[in-house]
Structure 1
Protein backbone atom coordinates (compact mmCIF):
# COMPACT_ATOMS: atom_id res chain seq x y z
CA UNK A 1 0.00 0.00 0.00
CA UNK A 2 1.33 3.41 -0.99
CA UNK A 3 0.09 6.95 -0.48
CA UNK A 4 -0.78 9.13 -3.50
CA UNK A 5 1.26 12.34 -3.33
CA UNK A 6 0.55 13.81 -6.76
CA UNK A 7 -1.68 16.85 -7.25
CA UNK A 8 -4.16 14.78 -9.31
CA UNK A 9 -5.73 11.97 -7.27
CA UNK A 10 -6.81 8.75 -9.04
CA UNK A 11 -9.65 6.34 -8.33
CA UNK A 12 -10.18 2.94 -9.93
CA UNK A 13 -7.69 0.55 -11.58
CA UNK A 14 -4.89 1.14 -14.06
CA UNK A 15 -1.98 -1.09 -15.06
CA UNK A 16 -2.66 -3.56 -12.28
CA UNK A 17 -2.74 -0.81 -9.64
CA UNK A 18 -5.88 -0.02 -7.64
CA UNK A 19 -6.37 3.61 -6.59
CA UNK A 20 -8.77 4.41 -3.76
CA UNK A 21 -9.47 6.78 -0.87
CA UNK A 22 -9.41 5.82 2.81
CA UNK A 23 -11.33 7.90 5.34
CA UNK A 24 -8.44 7.66 7.79
CA UNK A 25 -5.37 7.69 5.51
CA UNK A 26 -6.42 9.67 2.44
CA UNK A 27 -5.65 8.68 -1.17
CA UNK A 28 -3.84 5.34 -1.47
CA UNK A 29 -2.66 2.93 -4.15
CA UNK A 30 -1.93 -0.79 -4.06
CA UNK A 31 -1.05 -3.49 -6.53
CA UNK A 32 -3.87 -5.73 -7.62
CA UNK A 33 -3.17 -9.35 -6.86
CA UNK A 34 -3.87 -12.22 -4.50
CA UNK A 35 -5.44 -15.62 -4.85
CA UNK A 36 -8.73 -16.14 -6.66
CA UNK A 37 -11.65 -15.91 -4.21
CA UNK A 38 -13.28 -19.12 -5.48
CA UNK A 39 -10.07 -21.06 -4.83
CA UNK A 40 -9.90 -19.73 -1.27
CA UNK A 41 -13.50 -20.88 -0.70
CA UNK A 42 -12.95 -24.45 -1.98
CA UNK A 43 -9.25 -25.43 -1.98
CA UNK A 44 -8.29 -27.64 1.03
CA UNK A 45 -4.96 -25.81 1.10
CA UNK A 46 -6.80 -22.70 2.29
CA UNK A 47 -8.73 -24.39 5.12
CA UNK A 48 -6.84 -22.36 7.73
CA UNK A 49 -7.54 -19.17 5.79
CA UNK A 50 -11.26 -19.93 5.76
CA UNK A 51 -11.24 -20.69 9.47
CA UNK A 52 -9.40 -17.48 10.29
CA UNK A 53 -11.74 -15.47 8.05
CA UNK A 54 -14.80 -16.98 9.70
CA UNK A 55 -13.55 -16.16 13.18
CA UNK A 56 -12.41 -12.67 12.26
CA UNK A 57 -15.83 -11.97 10.77
CA UNK A 58 -17.50 -13.29 13.92
CA UNK A 59 -15.37 -10.99 16.08
CA UNK A 60 -16.37 -8.05 13.89
CA UNK A 61 -20.06 -8.89 14.20
CA UNK A 62 -19.73 -9.26 17.96
CA UNK A 63 -18.03 -5.89 18.14
CA UNK A 64 -20.86 -4.29 16.19
CA UNK A 65 -23.39 -5.81 18.59
CA UNK A 66 -21.52 -4.45 21.62
CA UNK A 67 -21.25 -1.00 20.03
CA UNK A 68 -24.97 -1.05 19.23
CA UNK A 69 -25.79 -1.95 22.84
CA UNK A 70 -23.93 1.15 24.04
CA UNK A 71 -24.87 3.36 21.09
CA UNK A 72 -26.56 6.03 23.24
CA UNK A 73 -23.45 6.42 25.38
CA UNK A 74 -21.20 6.54 22.29
CA UNK A 75 -22.98 9.44 20.60
CA UNK A 76 -20.62 11.96 22.26
CA UNK A 77 -17.70 9.57 22.61
CA UNK A 78 -15.56 7.32 20.44
CA UNK A 79 -12.62 7.83 18.12
CA UNK A 80 -12.52 7.13 14.37
CA UNK A 81 -10.73 3.79 14.81
CA UNK A 82 -12.76 2.56 17.76
CA UNK A 83 -14.64 -0.12 15.77
CA UNK A 84 -11.39 -1.59 14.43
CA UNK A 85 -9.74 -1.53 17.85
CA UNK A 86 -12.70 -3.29 19.44
CA UNK A 87 -12.89 -5.93 16.69
CA UNK A 88 -9.17 -6.66 17.02
CA UNK A 89 -9.49 -7.08 20.79
CA UNK A 90 -12.54 -9.33 20.43
CA UNK A 91 -10.59 -11.42 17.91
CA UNK A 92 -7.93 -11.87 20.59
CA UNK A 93 -10.65 -12.87 23.08
CA UNK A 94 -12.07 -15.38 20.59
CA UNK A 95 -8.66 -17.03 20.21
CA UNK A 96 -8.65 -17.85 23.95
CA UNK A 97 -11.69 -20.13 23.49
CA UNK A 98 -10.45 -23.52 24.75
CA UNK A 99 -13.70 -25.37 23.97
CA UNK A 100 -14.64 -24.89 20.32
CA UNK A 101 -12.91 -26.19 17.19
CA UNK A 102 -10.83 -23.91 14.97
CA UNK A 103 -13.09 -21.83 12.78
CA UNK A 104 -15.91 -22.17 15.31
CA UNK A 105 -14.33 -20.42 18.28
CA UNK A 106 -16.44 -17.64 19.74
CA UNK A 107 -16.17 -14.65 22.03
CA UNK A 108 -18.56 -15.97 24.69
CA UNK A 109 -16.23 -18.93 25.40
CA UNK A 110 -13.11 -16.77 25.46
CA UNK A 111 -11.50 -14.67 28.18
CA UNK A 112 -13.76 -11.62 28.14
CA UNK A 113 -11.72 -10.04 30.91
CA UNK A 114 -9.27 -8.99 28.18
CA UNK A 115 -11.82 -6.26 27.42
CA UNK A 116 -11.66 -4.76 30.89
CA UNK A 117 -10.43 -1.18 30.73
CA UNK A 118 -11.17 -0.79 27.01
CA UNK A 119 -11.59 2.90 26.19
CA UNK A 120 -14.10 3.66 23.45
CA UNK A 121 -12.33 6.98 22.95
CA UNK A 122 -8.60 6.37 22.61
CA UNK A 123 -8.05 10.12 22.51
CA UNK A 124 -9.90 10.65 25.78
CA UNK A 125 -9.24 7.78 28.16
CA UNK A 126 -11.26 7.66 31.37
CA UNK A 127 -8.09 7.27 33.43
CA UNK A 128 -6.73 10.48 31.87
CA UNK A 129 -9.88 12.49 32.56
CA UNK A 130 -11.57 11.22 35.71
CA UNK A 131 -9.31 10.66 38.73
CA UNK A 132 -11.85 10.23 41.54
CA UNK A 133 -12.05 6.75 43.07
CA UNK A 134 -15.10 4.63 42.25
CA UNK A 135 -16.33 1.08 42.75
CA UNK A 136 -18.35 -0.99 40.27
CA UNK A 137 -20.23 -3.94 41.76
CA UNK A 138 -22.26 -6.61 39.96
CA UNK A 139 -24.69 -9.02 41.64
CA UNK A 140 -25.82 -11.56 39.03
CA UNK A 141 -28.30 -13.21 41.40
CA UNK A 142 -30.35 -10.05 41.97
CA UNK A 143 -29.40 -8.44 38.67
CA UNK A 144 -28.15 -5.31 40.44
CA UNK A 145 -25.26 -3.27 39.04
CA UNK A 146 -24.01 -0.32 41.10
CA UNK A 147 -21.32 2.29 40.58
CA UNK A 148 -20.42 4.30 43.68
CA UNK A 149 -18.29 7.43 43.64
CA UNK A 150 -17.44 9.01 47.02
CA UNK A 151 -17.56 12.79 47.42
CA UNK A 152 -14.75 14.54 45.54
CA UNK A 153 -13.64 18.01 44.47
CA UNK A 154 -14.30 18.28 40.70
CA UNK A 155 -11.50 20.74 39.88
CA UNK A 156 -9.02 18.46 41.67
CA UNK A 157 -10.21 15.15 40.25
CA UNK A 158 -11.29 15.97 36.69
CA UNK A 159 -9.28 17.09 33.65
CA UNK A 160 -11.79 19.17 31.70
CA UNK A 161 -11.82 21.14 28.41
CA UNK A 162 -11.67 24.91 28.18
CA UNK A 163 -15.12 26.45 28.45
CA UNK A 164 -16.66 23.56 30.39
CA UNK A 165 -18.72 24.65 33.40
CA UNK A 166 -20.48 21.36 34.19
CA UNK A 167 -20.05 17.61 33.81
CA UNK A 168 -22.14 14.49 34.13
CA UNK A 169 -21.24 10.88 34.80
CA UNK A 170 -22.88 8.23 32.63
CA UNK A 171 -23.18 4.52 33.28
CA UNK A 172 -24.71 1.60 31.42
CA UNK A 173 -24.83 -2.17 31.69
CA UNK A 174 -25.58 -4.60 28.88
CA UNK A 175 -26.38 -8.31 28.97
CA UNK A 176 -25.21 -9.54 25.56
CA UNK A 177 -26.26 -12.80 23.89
CA UNK A 178 -23.67 -13.12 21.12
CA UNK A 179 -25.19 -16.36 19.78
CA UNK A 180 -28.62 -14.78 19.26
CA UNK A 181 -27.28 -11.33 18.34
CA UNK A 182 -29.40 -9.78 21.11
CA UNK A 183 -28.85 -7.58 24.15
CA UNK A 184 -30.57 -5.96 27.11
CA UNK A 185 -29.17 -2.60 28.17
CA UNK A 186 -29.97 -0.22 31.02
CA UNK A 187 -28.42 3.23 31.45
CA UNK A 188 -28.30 6.09 33.94
CA UNK A 189 -26.59 9.46 34.15
CA UNK A 190 -26.24 12.13 36.78
CA UNK A 191 -27.63 15.62 36.45
CA UNK A 192 -25.17 18.25 35.24
CA UNK A 193 -22.78 18.82 38.14
CA UNK A 194 -20.79 22.00 38.67
CA UNK A 195 -17.09 21.97 37.82
CA UNK A 196 -16.00 23.83 40.91
CA UNK A 197 -13.76 23.77 43.95
CA UNK A 198 -16.55 22.67 46.32
CA UNK A 199 -16.96 18.92 46.93
CA UNK A 200 -19.53 17.17 44.76
CA UNK A 201 -21.96 14.92 46.63
CA UNK A 202 -21.37 11.15 46.50
CA UNK A 203 -22.74 9.53 43.34
CA UNK A 204 -24.64 6.25 43.30
CA UNK A 205 -25.72 4.85 39.94
CA UNK A 206 -27.82 1.70 40.38
CA UNK A 207 -28.90 -0.30 37.32
CA UNK A 208 -31.47 -3.09 37.45
CA UNK A 209 -30.71 -5.98 35.12
CA UNK A 210 -32.26 -9.45 34.72
CA UNK A 211 -31.99 -11.51 37.94
CA UNK A 212 -30.03 -14.71 37.38
CA UNK A 213 -29.14 -13.87 33.78
CA UNK A 214 -26.24 -15.98 32.46
CA UNK A 215 -25.23 -13.96 29.39
CA UNK A 216 -21.96 -11.99 29.48
CA UNK A 217 -22.52 -8.63 31.19
CA UNK A 218 -20.59 -5.46 30.39
CA UNK A 219 -20.55 -2.27 32.48
CA UNK A 220 -19.34 1.11 31.20
CA UNK A 221 -18.64 4.34 33.01
CA UNK A 222 -18.05 7.65 31.28
CA UNK A 223 -17.90 11.40 31.69
CA UNK A 224 -19.23 14.17 29.44
CA UNK A 225 -18.91 17.93 29.65
CA UNK A 226 -21.26 20.86 29.16
CA UNK A 227 -21.22 24.64 29.16
CA UNK A 228 -23.88 26.85 30.75
CA UNK A 229 -24.60 29.95 28.65
CA UNK A 230 -27.44 32.33 29.56
CA UNK A 231 -29.35 29.64 31.38
CA UNK A 232 -29.01 27.06 28.56
CA UNK A 233 -26.85 23.95 28.91
CA UNK A 234 -24.80 22.98 25.83
CA UNK A 235 -23.05 19.61 25.51
CA UNK A 236 -19.38 19.88 24.55
CA UNK A 237 -18.39 17.20 22.04
CA UNK A 238 -14.70 17.37 22.88
CA UNK A 239 -12.90 14.27 21.63
CA UNK A 240 -9.92 14.82 23.92
CA UNK A 241 -11.97 14.71 27.14
CA UNK A 242 -15.30 12.86 26.73
CA UNK A 243 -14.56 9.35 27.95
CA UNK A 244 -16.27 5.95 28.17
CA UNK A 245 -14.61 2.81 29.46
CA UNK A 246 -15.51 -0.81 30.20
CA UNK A 247 -15.05 -0.88 33.98
CA UNK A 248 -16.59 -4.27 34.86
CA UNK A 249 -17.22 -7.51 32.98
CA UNK A 250 -19.00 -10.65 34.13
CA UNK A 251 -18.49 -13.61 31.75
CA UNK A 252 -21.50 -15.76 31.00
CA UNK A 253 -22.18 -19.04 32.72
Structure 2
Protein backbone atom coordinates (compact mmCIF):
# COMPACT_ATOMS: atom_id res chain seq x y z
CA UNK A 1 0.00 0.00 0.00
CA UNK A 2 1.36 3.41 -0.98
CA UNK A 3 0.11 6.94 -0.39
CA UNK A 4 -0.62 9.23 -3.32
CA UNK A 5 1.19 12.57 -3.11
CA UNK A 6 0.42 14.05 -6.51
CA UNK A 7 -1.54 17.26 -7.05
CA UNK A 8 -4.47 15.36 -8.63
CA UNK A 9 -5.50 12.25 -6.68
CA UNK A 10 -6.39 9.25 -8.81
CA UNK A 11 -9.26 6.80 -8.51
CA UNK A 12 -9.63 3.53 -10.39
CA UNK A 13 -7.19 1.01 -11.87
CA UNK A 14 -4.25 1.54 -14.19
CA UNK A 15 -2.48 -1.67 -15.14
CA UNK A 16 -1.98 -3.62 -11.94
CA UNK A 17 -2.27 -0.58 -9.67
CA UNK A 18 -5.56 0.38 -7.99
CA UNK A 19 -5.99 3.96 -6.78
CA UNK A 20 -8.60 4.68 -4.09
CA UNK A 21 -9.55 6.98 -1.24
CA UNK A 22 -9.83 5.87 2.40
CA UNK A 23 -9.95 7.56 5.78
CA UNK A 24 -6.16 7.50 5.71
CA UNK A 25 -6.08 9.56 2.51
CA UNK A 26 -5.58 8.76 -1.17
CA UNK A 27 -3.81 5.40 -1.48
CA UNK A 28 -2.56 3.03 -4.15
CA UNK A 29 -2.00 -0.72 -4.07
CA UNK A 30 -1.07 -3.48 -6.48
CA UNK A 31 -3.84 -5.73 -7.74
CA UNK A 32 -3.52 -9.31 -6.74
CA UNK A 33 -5.01 -12.06 -4.65
CA UNK A 34 -6.33 -15.53 -5.15
CA UNK A 35 -9.23 -16.41 -7.41
CA UNK A 36 -12.52 -16.21 -5.49
CA UNK A 37 -13.78 -19.52 -6.90
CA UNK A 38 -10.71 -21.29 -5.61
CA UNK A 39 -11.19 -19.84 -2.13
CA UNK A 40 -14.82 -21.01 -2.19
CA UNK A 41 -14.08 -24.60 -3.25
CA UNK A 42 -10.46 -25.59 -2.64
CA UNK A 43 -10.02 -27.76 0.52
CA UNK A 44 -6.79 -25.89 1.17
CA UNK A 45 -8.83 -22.79 1.98
CA UNK A 46 -11.26 -24.37 4.43
CA UNK A 47 -9.88 -22.25 7.29
CA UNK A 48 -10.22 -19.13 5.17
CA UNK A 49 -13.88 -19.98 4.54
CA UNK A 50 -14.48 -20.63 8.23
CA UNK A 51 -12.89 -17.33 9.20
CA UNK A 52 -14.82 -15.47 6.52
CA UNK A 53 -18.11 -16.96 7.69
CA UNK A 54 -17.53 -15.90 11.28
CA UNK A 55 -16.28 -12.45 10.30
CA UNK A 56 -19.42 -11.93 8.23
CA UNK A 57 -21.54 -13.07 11.16
CA UNK A 58 -19.74 -10.59 13.41
CA UNK A 59 -20.38 -7.76 10.98
CA UNK A 60 -24.12 -8.52 10.82
CA UNK A 61 -24.34 -8.77 14.61
CA UNK A 62 -22.53 -5.45 15.02
CA UNK A 63 -24.88 -3.76 12.56
CA UNK A 64 -27.91 -5.10 14.45
CA UNK A 65 -26.55 -3.78 17.75
CA UNK A 66 -25.84 -0.37 16.20
CA UNK A 67 -29.34 -0.24 14.79
CA UNK A 68 -30.84 -1.03 18.18
CA UNK A 69 -29.02 1.98 19.67
CA UNK A 70 -29.30 4.20 16.59
CA UNK A 71 -31.26 6.97 18.33
CA UNK A 72 -28.40 7.59 20.76
CA UNK A 73 -25.73 7.13 18.09
CA UNK A 74 -26.95 9.91 15.80
CA UNK A 75 -24.80 12.52 17.56
CA UNK A 76 -21.76 10.32 18.15
CA UNK A 77 -18.70 11.25 16.12
CA UNK A 78 -16.71 8.04 15.52
CA UNK A 79 -16.09 7.02 11.93
CA UNK A 80 -14.37 3.78 13.04
CA UNK A 81 -17.31 2.48 15.09
CA UNK A 82 -18.42 -0.12 12.55
CA UNK A 83 -14.98 -1.73 12.33
CA UNK A 84 -14.33 -1.57 16.08
CA UNK A 85 -17.65 -3.17 16.95
CA UNK A 86 -17.27 -5.91 14.32
CA UNK A 87 -13.85 -6.73 15.79
CA UNK A 88 -15.32 -6.97 19.28
CA UNK A 89 -18.23 -9.09 18.03
CA UNK A 90 -15.74 -11.47 16.44
CA UNK A 91 -14.18 -12.04 19.86
CA UNK A 92 -17.65 -12.80 21.23
CA UNK A 93 -18.18 -15.37 18.47
CA UNK A 94 -14.76 -16.90 18.96
CA UNK A 95 -15.63 -17.48 22.63
CA UNK A 96 -18.37 -19.92 21.55
CA UNK A 97 -17.31 -23.26 23.03
CA UNK A 98 -20.36 -25.14 21.71
CA UNK A 99 -20.11 -25.02 17.91
CA UNK A 100 -17.27 -25.90 15.55
CA UNK A 101 -15.20 -23.30 13.75
CA UNK A 102 -17.12 -21.59 10.99
CA UNK A 103 -20.42 -22.15 12.81
CA UNK A 104 -19.71 -20.29 16.03
CA UNK A 105 -22.16 -17.48 16.79
CA UNK A 106 -23.05 -14.65 19.17
CA UNK A 107 -25.83 -16.60 20.91
CA UNK A 108 -23.46 -19.33 22.06
CA UNK A 109 -20.56 -16.93 22.55
CA UNK A 110 -19.82 -14.59 25.43
CA UNK A 111 -21.90 -11.46 24.88
CA UNK A 112 -20.67 -10.17 28.25
CA UNK A 113 -17.36 -9.39 26.54
CA UNK A 114 -19.12 -6.33 25.09
CA UNK A 115 -19.58 -4.76 28.52
CA UNK A 116 -17.62 -1.53 28.66
CA UNK A 117 -17.60 -1.07 24.87
CA UNK A 118 -17.29 2.61 23.96
CA UNK A 119 -19.35 3.72 20.97
CA UNK A 120 -17.30 6.92 20.68
CA UNK A 121 -13.57 6.31 20.68
CA UNK A 122 -13.07 10.10 20.78
CA UNK A 123 -15.17 10.63 23.90
CA UNK A 124 -15.09 7.83 26.45
CA UNK A 125 -17.88 7.79 29.02
CA UNK A 126 -15.36 7.35 31.83
CA UNK A 127 -13.44 10.40 30.64
CA UNK A 128 -16.54 12.55 30.29
CA UNK A 129 -18.83 11.66 33.19
CA UNK A 130 -17.01 11.30 36.51
CA UNK A 131 -20.08 10.94 38.70
CA UNK A 132 -20.52 7.42 40.13
CA UNK A 133 -23.43 5.31 38.94
CA UNK A 134 -24.82 1.80 39.29
CA UNK A 135 -26.25 -0.17 36.38
CA UNK A 136 -28.41 -3.24 36.56
CA UNK A 137 -30.42 -5.67 34.45
CA UNK A 138 -33.36 -7.56 35.95
CA UNK A 139 -34.07 -10.27 33.41
CA UNK A 140 -37.18 -11.51 35.25
CA UNK A 141 -38.97 -8.15 35.06
CA UNK A 142 -37.29 -6.86 31.90
CA UNK A 143 -36.16 -3.69 33.69
CA UNK A 144 -32.79 -2.19 32.75
CA UNK A 145 -31.77 0.77 34.89
CA UNK A 146 -29.03 3.22 35.82
CA UNK A 147 -29.02 5.05 39.17
CA UNK A 148 -26.87 8.17 39.57
CA UNK A 149 -26.57 9.96 42.94
CA UNK A 150 -26.70 13.77 43.02
CA UNK A 151 -23.52 15.41 41.72
CA UNK A 152 -22.17 18.87 40.88
CA UNK A 153 -21.95 19.15 37.07
CA UNK A 154 -19.15 21.70 36.91
CA UNK A 155 -16.94 19.36 38.96
CA UNK A 156 -17.97 15.97 37.56
CA UNK A 157 -18.14 16.59 33.81
CA UNK A 158 -15.48 17.11 31.17
CA UNK A 159 -17.60 19.28 28.92
CA UNK A 160 -16.65 20.76 25.53
CA UNK A 161 -16.05 24.46 25.00
CA UNK A 162 -19.31 26.30 24.58
CA UNK A 163 -21.46 23.69 26.31
CA UNK A 164 -23.90 25.15 28.84
CA UNK A 165 -26.19 22.16 29.46
CA UNK A 166 -26.13 18.37 29.30
CA UNK A 167 -28.49 15.43 29.28
CA UNK A 168 -27.99 11.90 30.60
CA UNK A 169 -29.43 9.13 28.44
CA UNK A 170 -29.96 5.39 28.83
CA UNK A 171 -31.06 2.83 26.29
CA UNK A 172 -31.82 -0.84 26.61
CA UNK A 173 -32.07 -3.50 23.94
CA UNK A 174 -33.16 -7.12 23.79
CA UNK A 175 -31.56 -8.58 20.67
CA UNK A 176 -32.37 -11.77 18.77
CA UNK A 177 -29.24 -12.25 16.68
CA UNK A 178 -30.65 -15.28 14.89
CA UNK A 179 -33.90 -13.65 13.76
CA UNK A 180 -32.12 -10.27 13.37
CA UNK A 181 -34.77 -8.46 15.41
CA UNK A 182 -34.70 -6.40 18.59
CA UNK A 183 -36.82 -4.73 21.23
CA UNK A 184 -35.44 -1.41 22.49
CA UNK A 185 -36.36 1.54 24.68
CA UNK A 186 -34.78 4.88 25.64
CA UNK A 187 -35.00 7.24 28.61
CA UNK A 188 -33.32 10.54 29.39
CA UNK A 189 -33.00 13.21 32.03
CA UNK A 190 -34.04 16.79 31.44
CA UNK A 191 -31.43 19.22 30.09
CA UNK A 192 -29.36 20.31 33.09
CA UNK A 193 -27.19 23.42 33.43
CA UNK A 194 -23.45 22.88 33.76
CA UNK A 195 -22.87 24.90 36.91
CA UNK A 196 -22.26 24.47 40.64
CA UNK A 197 -25.85 23.49 41.43
CA UNK A 198 -26.11 19.81 42.47
CA UNK A 199 -28.34 17.68 40.30
CA UNK A 200 -31.26 15.67 41.54
CA UNK A 201 -30.81 11.94 42.05
CA UNK A 202 -31.33 10.25 38.69
CA UNK A 203 -33.08 6.90 38.38
CA UNK A 204 -33.39 6.13 34.68
CA UNK A 205 -34.93 2.86 33.58
CA UNK A 206 -36.33 1.19 30.47
CA UNK A 207 -38.30 -1.99 29.89
CA UNK A 208 -37.88 -4.87 27.47
CA UNK A 209 -39.57 -8.29 27.47
CA UNK A 210 -39.91 -9.88 30.91
CA UNK A 211 -38.21 -13.27 31.26
CA UNK A 212 -36.51 -12.81 27.90
CA UNK A 213 -34.25 -15.60 26.67
CA UNK A 214 -32.27 -13.22 24.45
CA UNK A 215 -29.12 -11.20 25.22
CA UNK A 216 -29.85 -7.87 26.93
CA UNK A 217 -27.78 -4.71 26.59
CA UNK A 218 -27.83 -1.49 28.63
CA UNK A 219 -26.06 1.67 27.52
CA UNK A 220 -25.42 4.99 29.26
CA UNK A 221 -24.59 8.20 27.45
CA UNK A 222 -24.28 11.95 27.77
CA UNK A 223 -25.08 14.68 25.25
CA UNK A 224 -24.08 18.33 25.46
CA UNK A 225 -26.00 21.46 24.52
CA UNK A 226 -25.37 25.18 24.10
CA UNK A 227 -27.95 27.76 25.18
CA UNK A 228 -28.38 30.71 22.81
CA UNK A 229 -31.08 33.33 23.43
CA UNK A 230 -32.91 30.98 25.74
CA UNK A 231 -32.97 28.04 23.28
CA UNK A 232 -30.88 24.87 23.63
CA UNK A 233 -28.97 23.55 20.63
CA UNK A 234 -27.30 20.12 20.54
CA UNK A 235 -23.56 20.25 19.91
CA UNK A 236 -23.24 18.16 16.77
CA UNK A 237 -19.50 17.63 16.62
CA UNK A 238 -19.80 14.40 18.63
CA UNK A 239 -16.32 14.77 20.10
CA UNK A 240 -17.52 14.73 23.71
CA UNK A 241 -20.87 12.97 23.37
CA UNK A 242 -20.16 9.65 25.06
CA UNK A 243 -22.04 6.35 24.98
CA UNK A 244 -20.97 3.01 26.39
CA UNK A 245 -22.40 -0.41 27.20
CA UNK A 246 -22.48 -0.41 30.99
CA UNK A 247 -24.20 -3.77 31.53
CA UNK A 248 -24.72 -6.88 29.41
CA UNK A 249 -26.64 -10.06 30.17
CA UNK A 250 -26.01 -12.88 27.71
CA UNK A 251 -28.12 -15.98 27.38
CA UNK A 252 -29.78 -17.02 30.68
CA UNK A 253 -28.51 -20.16 32.35
CA UNK A 254 -30.35 -23.34 31.45
CA UNK A 255 -32.58 -24.68 34.23
CA UNK A 256 -31.11 -27.58 36.20
CA UNK A 257 -32.31 -31.05 35.17
CA UNK A 258 -35.25 -32.44 37.08
CA UNK A 259 -34.25 -34.83 39.85
Q: Please say whether Structure 1 and Structure 2 have the same fold, judged by a TM-score greater than 0.5.
A: yes
Q: How would you bin the TM-score normalised by the shorter chain? A: over 0.9
Verify the 8 A CA contact 2:76 2:239 in the aligned structure 1. Answer: no
The answer on 1:42 being equivalent to 2:33 is no
User: Aligned partners of 2:32, 2:42: CA distance in 1, in Å?
Assistant: 18
Deviations 1:104-130 (A, max 9, x none): 100121112221111100000000000
Report the RMSD for the aligned CA atoms in angstroms. Answer: 0.9
Verify the 8 A CA contact 1:161 1:238 in the aligned structure 2. Answer: no
Give the equivalent residue in structure 2 for 1:93.
92
Bigger mean CA deviation after superposition, 95-104 or 7-16: 7-16
Deviation at 1:215, TM superposition (A): 0.3
- Partner of 2:197, secondary structure, is coil
Verify the 8 A CA contact 1:170 1:188 in the aligned structure 2. Answer: yes
Verify the 8 A CA contact 1:129 1:158 in the aligned structure 2. Answer: yes
Task: State the TM-score, normalized to the length of structure 1.
Answer: 0.97
User: Aligned partners of 2:112, 2:205: CA distance in 1, in Å?
Assistant: 22
Give the equivalent residue in structure 2 for 1:5.
5
Give the equivalent residue in structure 1 for 2:159.
160
Detail structure 1 runs of 4+ shifted over 4 Å in the superposition: none
User: Aligned partners of 1:12, 1:30: CA distance in 2, in Å?
Assistant: 11
User: Aligned partners of 1:125, 1:157: CA distance in 2, in Å?
Assistant: 14
User: How many residues are paired up?
Assistant: 252
Matches within 5 A, 1:121-140: 121-140=120-139
Bigger mean CA deviation after superposition, 176-185 or 106-115: 106-115
Verify the 8 A CA contact 1:59 1:87 in the aligned structure 2. Answer: yes
Structure 1 residues not aligned, in runs of 5+: none
Deviation at 1:78, TM superposition (A): 3.9
- Partner of 2:107, secondary structure, is helix
- Partner of 1:109, secondary structure, is coil
The answer on 1:75 being equivalent to 2:107 is no
- Partner of 1:107, secondary structure, is coil
Deviations 1:7-57 (A, max 9, x none): 1222211221111111x1121111111110011111111111111001000
Task: State the TM-score, normalized to the length of structure 2.
Answer: 0.95
Give the equivalent residue in structure 2 for 1:184.
183
User: Aligned partners of 1:197, 1:238: CA distance in 2, in Å?
Assistant: 25
Verify the 8 A CA contact 2:215 2:249 in the aligned structure 1. Answer: yes
The answer on 1:15 being equivalent to 2:15 is yes
Verify the 8 A CA contact 1:9 1:27 in the aligned structure 2. Answer: yes
Structure 2 residues not aligned, in runs of 5+: 253-259
Deviation at 1:163, TM superposition (A): 1.2
